[in-house]
Structure 1
Amino acid sequence: MNRRHFLRSATVSALAAPLGRAALAASGEQPLSITISDRTGCTVPRNFTGLSYELAQLTEPNFFSAENHGLVAAFRQLSPQGVLRLGGNSSEFCWFEATPSTPAPKLHIPPGNLTSNWMPHRLFAIPPQAIDHLAGFLEATGWQVIYGVNFGNSTPERAAVEAAYAAKRLGSSLLFFQIGNEPDFYRDANNGTRPAGWDFPDYAREWLAFARAIAAAVPGARFGGPDVGASSDWMTRFANEVAPQLGESLVAVTGHYYAEGPPDDPRVTSARLLAGNPALAKNTQAVVAAADAHHLVYRMTEGNSCYRGGKPGMSNAFASSLWAGDYLLELATLGCAGVNLHGGDSRFLTASLGDHTPGRDVAKGPDKRSGGFYTPIDSEQNQPVGLMPVAYGMFLAQQFAGATMLDVSFHPETHVTAYAAHTARGYQIAIFNKDESHPVDIAITAPQAVHRATAWRLAAPALDATSGITLAGASFDLHQPWQPRHTEKLPLHDGTAHIQLPAASAALVFFA
């Protein structure tokens, strides 16, 4: 299934437009009038911001370590209390080497030509030291972890041993366990983890066997699932059919979302990325409702701008900044508990794709050096750690953590989106102009009397710019905490602020 069509397979009734989001065409001479309502929506969790990495990254125990100061600083910059998810394709080939004498699991090799298969099909041994160091890393960053265990090439007994060690060492930093990665793709020819014809009932039966083995070894263990790649019907079935069997141990419904892909498809462009997916809002609400009916949360545990490593000139450029800020705030408005954007060291991303590198194959010039074009944090081997363009959008959205979303109203069409919230400091609204060519004049009216309006602008030289990106005039510098360099004072008359938003830019406006 094309990941761009995520959630479109669900059969759901039409739902109302999402609270807090509106859109319109940036045209005409009159200012676009946006009104912030006092009608409240959901409160954004403090740990909404998240990152996703390949579980195989743990084969290098010093990566997720308190001594990896650059990585610690990058995580802390993105959020003081986010969520790290460990999983990905490689998780189906990882095994916990509990002792030097622990035997490796039997590796299932699917039939056919493996050159057309997008799975690693080699094993990755995780030593106990890696989990020990991970515990220190989480303590240093203030983050929690969603720990994925091998479901594709493992047994319930092996999973229980690994989970028991992880739970003991990670303690309260362990948010919940996941079992397997994208099981809805297992039966596909380019995956081959399970035979053709294997379907949700088979998955649920096997998954419960793993979960019960882990629960027996880890009293109080918590779980999320099904961590699908694209099949939203699996998420609703998981909530409806598995939750009653597992009880309070199940805490989250999880799934993935990649907006575009693959990177070597010429139809994948920044313009199409920023146009958005019209089905996303309606169908995400359906998944959130299914989860809520069983007292679960929905978390998007792996995704990004373009699957299979991202597209150069888009996923590693300013277009991804605008996309990420818009996408994260849309999901926050819809009641999603958090978003984990995938990334990491390109060696492990490439390995997770069966050593395919479609993004690198179409890259030009300096981009040839990378393979993880969509990664929020640049952490290549023997290179300094840095935050990538997509991180700017994530950081803008992070300013809504802990806030209560509010409705906004203006004429709904395309190009411009807006998300408002109320915080302890007052009202704030993020506005995205996704039109590449046209600026837009905007008049924003707050719901109550305000005395001051200021703005941080998210800007870059161009949509395909990979440098020169700033928020409030400042770029990230991991040697010191980010601080705004330029907070713009906006004209304010009778509770209405005025701002001009250049083409392909965004702003975060504060009212006090």
Structure 2
Amino acid sequence: MAFGLVVPLALVSNPRIGRRSGQPAVVYVATRARTSRISPQAAGLSYETSSLLPGADGVRYFRADNASLVRLFRTLGIASLRIGGNSVDQGSALPTDQDIVSLFDFARAANVKVIYSVRLKDGDPQAAAHAAGLIHQRFADRIECYSIGNEPSYYKDYDIYRARWTTIRDAMVAADPQARFCAPDENPSPELSARMIREFGNEAGRLVQLSQHSYPFGCSYRNPKEKDLARLVPFDAAESREKMLQPSAYQVYQKIHDQTARLVQGTSLSFRLTETNSYWFSGLQGASDSYASALWAADYLYWWISHGAVGLNFHTGDRTGGAITLPARYAVFVTSPHGYQVRPLAYGLKLFDLGGHGTLVPAEVRASPHQNLAAYATLGEDNSLAITLINKTHGPAAAPTEVQIRLDAPLADAQVRAIELRSANNDIAADASTVTLGGAAIQEDGTWNGAWSEMPKSAISRDAITVTMLPASGMVIRARVR
């Protein structure tokens, strides 16, 4: 990947930026201990099926000539697009042939693979087969896999669910002999997942991916069963932002992983979070749409990829779907007068895009308890090294953190570059208007002109790099090792 623009180092390793937080944090990067290769479709988005339908003006959201949306997908590095959500089973209207063609024309223009869901609840096998046949005939290169239904916990009897799922699958396979499926597209459900793998995780069953949903921090509201939207009581935004950035979040991820992702070990199936975000029920205002979400998303994506997931699809859109629709507070971006206005979460995805390609290599952090630092590293085939640092230390008392990166291999040269993610005043409550990556914002037309900074020679030695990170910031450092 090209480094892009290079400007003199402004903020990286500048000892004049405030006081430092005591002892430096140390990151040990083992470039010779290569682990797993990151899937090209690691970063993805998830949309409601209803987003395929034309708007009130007759214009479709997903279309090949939607230049701003195509550009934004490419800018953010989005390579997977899942279509499903509540509206696949609860919506009143199914996508027409024209809707499906427009979606896949967009997918081709944006260079994404599609996970396409068909209706399970009261679903028509022939309608599903028709859609699969159309996709197979015209867009076989764009379909990743099919999903049948969404969060099928409404089927209390597994035998009924299995029979319905199998009937629709068989009809789709008859129309698309190459059809592959992911399932069950459910909130963590170890028993259902294990049954699906056991019965369908073979060549005849066509199940190739275990797909799960996860909103690790729970509901946005204290009373989610309330039907009167005006009476919904949100959780405290400040406390919710803290939950997103605390190390205890890893325990939540690990529990979900152990319940679900471990089930594919020893099988040919992959694992993917096909619908995920911070808080369910449309997201929590002041948390899901705050700068904290940028730091959280980059760390969350890397954590799951480093724990075996092939990718994550962040649920997004202008509004959520289903029986109740609300503005999507957890959106990656929303429609705006001149294109799409990004939310802070988009910057977390872009930070991953700048460093999350190639093969993962171990990056071990040794820091004091008050230094909340995450680190990940990847290595390219040409020995290009990308180190992503996420400093989640924040608050009025937080000071810049010195980070010493120690490598097990010497640097090939002294050409080391970095790019920084930050918000004004290092405020995790900030909205997107103050967030920059490489000194630049992502524009409504999908363009971004962030600049890499060349690090001073004084910060580089034979096998080490030293940087100073601002509180609540992210950074990608790129170098080459021998």
Q: For this structure pair, what is the TM-score category when the shorter chain's length is used for normalisation?
A: 0.7 to 0.9
C-alpha deviation, 1:263, in angstroms: 2.0
Structure 2 unaligned regions, length at least 5? 1-19, 222-233
Q: CA contact under 8 A between 2:365 and 2:374: conserved in structure 1?
A: no
1:465 to 430, 439, 445: 430
C-alpha deviation, 1:233, in angstroms: 3.6
Work out the CA distance in 1 between the residues paired with 2:183 and 2:125: 16
Matches within 5 A, 1:353-502: 353-355=322-324, 357=326, 371-379=327-335, 384-411=339-366, 415-423=372-380, 424=382, 426-437=384-395, 438=398, 439-450=400-411, 451-452=413-414, 453-461=416-424, 462-466=427-431, 467-477=433-443, 479=445, 481-489=447-455, 491-502=459-470
Matches within 5 A, 1:141-180: 141-180=110-149
Q: CA contact under 8 A between 1:204 and 1:242: conserved in structure 2?
A: no
Kindly provide the CA deviation profile for residues 304-336 of structure 1, in whole angstroms up to 9, marking residues without a partner as x: 111111111221121110011000111111121
Q: Which amino acid aligns with 2:254?
A: A
1:29 to 14, 22, 28: 22
Q: Which amino acid aligns with 1:457?
A: E
- Secondary structure of 2:329's partner? coil
Work out the CA distance in 2 between the residues paired with 1:373 and 1:335: 28
Q: CA contact under 8 A between 1:182 and 1:229: conserved in structure 2?
A: yes
Scaled by the length of structure 1, the TM-score of the pair is 0.78
Q: Which amino acid aligns with 2:210?
A: V
Matched, 1:309 2:282: yes
- Secondary structure of 2:451's partner? coil
**Match in the other structure for 1:64:** 62
After TM superposition, the runs of 4+ consecutive aligned structure 1 residues lying more than 4 A away are 478-481
Work out the CA distance in 1 between the residues paired with 2:118 and 2:94: 12
Matched, 1:269 2:240: yes
Matched, 1:133 2:102: yes
Q: CA contact under 8 A between 2:340 and 2:446: conserved in structure 1?
A: no
More deviation, 327-336/448-457: 448-457
Work out the CA distance in 2 between the residues paired with 1:295 and 1:245: 10
Work out the CA distance in 1 between the residues paired with 2:235 and 2:61: 35
More deviation, 429-438/262-271: 262-271
Work out the CA distance in 1 between the residues paired with 2:439 and 2:449: 9
Kindly provide the CA deviation profile for residues 37-56 of structure 1, in whole angstroms up to 9, marking residues without a partner as x: 12111110112111100001
Work out the CA distance in 1 between the residues paired with 2:27 and 2:353: 22
Work out the CA distance in 1 between the residues paired with 2:24 and 2:34: 26
Work out the CA distance in 2 between the residues paired with 1:433 and 1:145: 33
1:226 to 180, 184, 187: 184
Matched, 1:328 2:283: no
Kindly provide the CA deviation profile for residues 152-173 of structure 1, in whole angstroms up to 9, marking residues without a partner as x: 1213233222322233332211
Work out the CA distance in 2 between the residues paired with 1:301 and 1:68: 24
Work out the CA distance in 2 between the residues paired with 1:199 and 1:504: 47
CA distance 1:93–1:279, change in 2 (3 Å): closer
Matches within 5 A, 1:187-202: 194=155, 198-202=156-160
Q: CA RMSD in A?
A: 2.4
Q: Which amino acid aligns with 2:89?
A: E
C-alpha deviation, 1:178, in angstroms: 0.3
Q: Which amino acid aligns with 1:48?
A: A
**Match in the other structure for 1:13:** none
C-alpha deviation, 1:219, in angstroms: 1.2
C-alpha deviation, 1:282, in angstroms: 5.8
Kindly provide the CA deviation profile for residues 451-485 of structure 1, in whole angstroms up to 9, marking residues without a partner as x: 33332111002111111211121211354743432
Matched, 1:338 2:311: yes
- Secondary structure of 1:57's partner? helix
C-alpha deviation, 1:222, in angstroms: 1.0
C-alpha deviation, 1:236, in angstroms: 3.2
**Match in the other structure for 1:73:** 71
- Secondary structure of 2:201's partner? helix
C-alpha deviation, 1:449, in angstroms: 0.5
Q: CA contact under 8 A between 1:62 and 1:68: conserved in structure 2?
A: no
- Secondary structure of 1:41's partner? coil
1:508 to 467, 476, 482: 476
C-alpha deviation, 1:388, in angstroms: 1.9
Q: Which amino acid aligns with 2:435?
A: I
